[in-house]
Structure 1
């Protein structure tokens, strides 16, 4: 065994820990857990605490609505692009598969519609220090796995900044010469439409193939200024791909997305005086749109496509869309209804990669050399992402649940981006002896108890105000705006809780009344056809109501109204029983409801008494409860009322807390205004 094989690198560690569910963090369970290991240096050299986004500022909805961001890299297929792909696929399909770009080229033929609200909403909660989205329920981000599965880009291969040698240099020189001829055209640039029209007329030779790849790279992979042109600096990559070389496009694409997400975030939180011009970004943000639809169920389009055999996963989102409001997006992002790992679930006609196992398994030794398994391992490694013109930090251990693992406190990973070669060394696992664990789909990821406590300290809620936002009047206005939003939310919540309390009480009384009516406690005498209530003495007003009801009932039955009082005999045997029933419903419902409410209100006041049966025995005067069945039903009703009282107490406590939060927010705003006045 050589020295390299002896140095086995574990990307996943297994240990026993106190775990809690993110949805129920109060009940810890000690069990064996799997964590991503991102410690590049000995533990004692690490900072004591991980990076905390506590002081991170989210963009306010006001800034989101007023933003002017132009997504120039959102590449839609040209009119005849699909025809060009279909022309070359039979010739170069196997070569595209060898270089790992077959699915990525297929994805470029799909139209992914824009939803600016979703993209801007996510940009508002982006953290450039960690390259993650900061939600109240945890961190998430677009990972290498997302880039590979949704975009079809390979995570393994050579760096995009590699150089050419030998025969490849000659091919590049030919392409550069061809590229310069377009500079002498009327447009003075290598326009993408003109480029495609020129090379589609060739007979599928190597020059056409290289030109095809150059256009694909310029429009769908690494778009940049000037807009809608074929980039000369991408020709070396096109030449290498044209010869079947595998290039790690996924980290380069993801690096550009991270870079532009940070640019948008900086733009959103900047002072308005710095926003005279729109912000132009060039990363392929259609990848982020796909990520949103895969992970947030509430933000998905209502319609989805069925995937045909052999099609990539992104085919389900072709030419479908949904225009959302920023407020709706904000609510969706705050909720914890996030699909951590949607790709583990089976999708009809979609061929899942082999690293999605039906049972959890450790991969090491020769098994780790499998290309698809090693691709998954590459997604798990904290590293630097080397892009065409940027280098970004990749920290998958901060979003371990997106890979099906448990989440622990994220350790610090130092940067290594002074030279792109050193950055690439942190990324590439091709020559390393690695070991990792592949989780099974049924596995339920949880968070450690320490992480739960830490994250609550970092992100108590979106309603908490940032302490250092009093430097400018603009930031004070943001805080006041946020305070107003939170106060309005709390007031709406109070109204909702109060409504719930009233509704439950009304449902309870209604149920008791219905039970009484159905039990037959108000009977109709068969001797003289009189209508009586077994348990209630009708008042004069109630008797008058009965008379009116009886008269209307007779009119409805086609009978002649009479002046006889209710209780006197009627002489129509056919209508008699119907009249009695309706009179019962009209009179008993009012009387019974009032009496039950009196009993319950009195019971609430005397809640210190013993059992419900004791209360029945000691019932106040005027409540004529004689039947054993009535006693039993009332006993059950009162027991249910005891449970309702407990629920009402809980609702009242929530209302009290919300009111206290509103008071605290108002006091905080007043303090900030005082500080601002002193500083001015």
Structure 2
């Protein structure tokens, strides 16, 4: 009888009306309800030694000007819990770009990107064309704008291995260099943040050369919607994973974990020495020592149960209301609720906050 009852429950799972959730047959949840064993996704991320070496104040000033200073000041993010991300992907719906919980639909929005990391959301889209595939062109560009020539294998593939960028941070800068050298180092930092946290690909350790074009002009760099690009890449990777097209998942999964901790108290770690968060991006809340005793970490079944039995008072719809936020975290407020298109190079994804607004 127990086996028969389980089978009936599995048959009843899924959307009653398939007109909206029309991709159910391809969705990873189908296998779970059918009792097919599933593997955790492998979350890609790499920041090199960003957090291990002191940063020159003049370099930090340039990074601020480029729009990445708030994110850098948040400090090193915690390791990604692959089981948490897997459980969230199982509830992600590509048709609506939202997570479906018992308490309603929810999603990572432009507000979350800007408030958590201080990234610009109202700006020019991150798209264009590849300037050249000529190796000599990229030798010259890398030397001029980064201060070094990539290894031969990097030039052949037109991708930096992140270690080649990370190694540049080991070269100490004093306070008496020409300004262009601080600009070069700032670009290295920003490229590592871009390829390691914002839009990491499924390999987790390569950054395409063409992204350098967005960092060449320091002032122009600050005009791009880095938050919009980050969210487009995250949406794209969640959709691919939810439809079972990949198990190595890129995108800003660190941001997704921060979003989940902010909004779902029953799964968050307890911070042991909470950092002061006033007038800093909210990601700083989740740095430092933490206890996972009361959190269900590193257990996919527990996360599934927590999400399946979630009550209305176990999800925070407006977690940032009481925060004192710096200007860099609220500059894009007028477009947080916009129904628009998010762009990151060849990834184009809809932003539909109307489905989750409270």
Q: Determine helix, strand or coil for the equivalent of 1:343.
A: coil
Q: Does 1:101 align with 2:68?
A: yes
Q: Which of 209, 224, 228 is the matching residue for 2:205?
A: 228
Question: What TM-score results when the alignment is normalised by the length of structure 1?
Answer: 0.41
> 2:43 matched to which residue of 1?
71
> 1:553 matched to which residue of 2?
none
Distance 1:353 1:310 in 2: 4
Q: Which of 188, 191, 194 is the matching residue for 1:214?
A: 191
Question: What TM-score results when the alignment is normalised by the length of structure 2?
Answer: 0.75
Closer/same/farther in 2, CA of residues 295 and 241 from structure 1, 3 Å limit: farther
Closer/same/farther in 2, CA of residues 391 and 302 from structure 1, 3 Å limit: same
Distance 1:198 1:374 in 2: 32
Distance 1:376 1:158 in 2: 16
Q: Determine helix, strand or coil for the equivalent of 1:385.
A: strand
* Aligned-pair CA distance for 1:382: 0.4
Q: Determine helix, strand or coil for the equivalent of 1:153.
A: coil
The structure having more radius of gyration, on CA atoms, is 1
**8 Å CA contact retained: 1:172, 1:235:** no
Q: Does 1:238 align with 2:215?
A: yes
> 2:353 matched to which residue of 1?
396
> 1:289 matched to which residue of 2?
257
Closer/same/farther in 2, CA of residues 310 and 340 from structure 1, 3 Å limit: closer
* Aligned-pair CA distance for 1:283: 0.6
* Aligned-pair CA distance for 1:54: 8.2
* Aligned-pair CA distance for 1:105: 2.3
Q: Which of 320, 329, 333 is the matching residue for 2:303?
A: 329
Q: Determine helix, strand or coil for the equivalent of 1:205.
A: helix
**8 Å CA contact retained: 1:64, 1:121:** no
Q: Does 1:266 align with 2:243?
A: yes
Structure 1 or 2: larger helix share? 1
Q: Determine helix, strand or coil for the equivalent of 1:391.
A: strand
Q: Which of 251, 258, 262 is the matching residue for 2:228?
A: 251
Q: Determine helix, strand or coil for the equivalent of 2:236.
A: helix
Aligned-pair Cα RMSD in Å: 3.5
* Correspondence 1:357-506 to 2 at 5 A: 375-401=332-358
**8 Å CA contact retained: 2:40, 2:82:** no
Closer/same/farther in 2, CA of residues 227 and 287 from structure 1, 3 Å limit: closer
* Aligned-pair CA distance for 1:191: 3.0
How many pairs are equivalent? 313
Question: Which stretches in structure 2 are left out of the alignment for 5+ residues?
Answer: 1-16, 132-136
**8 Å CA contact retained: 1:218, 1:234:** no
**8 Å CA contact retained: 1:304, 1:317:** no
> 2:168 matched to which residue of 1?
198
Q: Determine helix, strand or coil for the equivalent of 2:341.
A: strand
Q: Does 1:157 align with 2:123?
A: yes
Distance 2:190 2:238 in 1: 26
Closer/same/farther in 2, CA of residues 64 and 131 from structure 1, 3 Å limit: farther
Distance 2:357 2:262 in 1: 17
Q: Does 1:146 align with 2:146?
A: no
* Correspondence 1:548-559 to 2 at 5 A: none
Distance 2:130 2:299 in 1: 48
Distance 1:160 1:121 in 2: 30
Distance 1:198 1:327 in 2: 42
* Correspondence 1:628-667 to 2 at 5 A: none
* Aligned-pair CA distance for 1:199: 5.4
**8 Å CA contact retained: 2:43, 2:250:** yes
Q: Does 1:352 align with 2:325?
A: yes
Distance 1:378 1:392 in 2: 16
> 1:315 matched to which residue of 2?
284
Question: Which stretches in structure 1 are left out of the alignment for 5+ residues?
Answer: 1-48, 166-170, 271-277, 355-370, 402-680
